[in-house]
Structure 1
Amino acid sequence: MQGPFNRSGNKKPMAEINVVPFIDVMLVLLVIFMITAPMLTQGVQVDLPQVSSEPIENQDESDPIIISVDREGVYFITLGEDTTSVSLDQMSERVMAILQRRPGTPVMVRGDRNVPYGQIVVLMSTLQRSGVANVGLLSEPPQDG
């Protein structure tokens, strides 16, 4: 009788490697990487609403900084009643100056629906580099028709 152990007492070592545990470990690692890979993407952190809600009231007396992007992609800064057209670099400097004078001022972004999404992302990234921790997105309520 042949095999790793025969009755005559001669114990021959088995020369085969069992690869089943290796395959099990590889499958577990594959599943772990498939689950964690989508979580590693980077992006601008935005607090999006999860459900429809009522408009919030302004908690403090300070007017928010409202940054608008019109249909042509021109940027505007509105603080109180003052609206100014600015470039992306000028906007960064002005927002930093306003936040140094009035820390904690809320920053809101209002973009035209025809503006490319990439331009809004660049705007929000610029605001984040300017020291804005949270950016709010303004919209209009849906019209019932």
Structure 2
Amino acid sequence: MRFSHAVVAGLGALLLVRSCLPALGFTQAPLTLPRSKGAIQLSNTSERSIELSLQVFTVINQDGRSSAALVPLPVEQAEQLIRLRPTQMRLASGATRTISYSVLDPSRDFFLCGVSSQGLFMLRVCSRWRPAFAVSSSAPAGQR
């Protein structure tokens, strides 16, 4: 079997396509968490129902490039960085879900990733929390 893949960075989408099968994928937005409190949007762009979990990953640097670690943080450590509920959900084909979040430790750099295991594939789309670029949601409007 031949597989091709495409990553649409602007939309935070990952699609895997195989001949004769519908595309498997989902989107997550925004790709950068701009405020310590907000919401992320998860959308199922595939033709099948998918199960998603939200996981927190540390930032690793390889050859001067930052990326998400391969293994998520344990739940206890993740809950010290960010509060969000639910962390697991099923999305029907074409469905969208908005999940509120609250960053609990704004000094730590991390990735919040939507992860979906679909057959032989694990799809991961990540949003990044970067303390230096974040706007405090509690700051007065003139100081944002």
TM-score category, normalised to shorter length: under 0.3
TM-score (norm 2): 0.25
Q: Which has the larger radius of gyration?
A: 1
Q: Which has the larger helix fraction?
A: 1
Greater relative contact order, per chain length (Cα 8 Å cut-off, separation 6+) = 2
TM-score (norm 1): 0.25
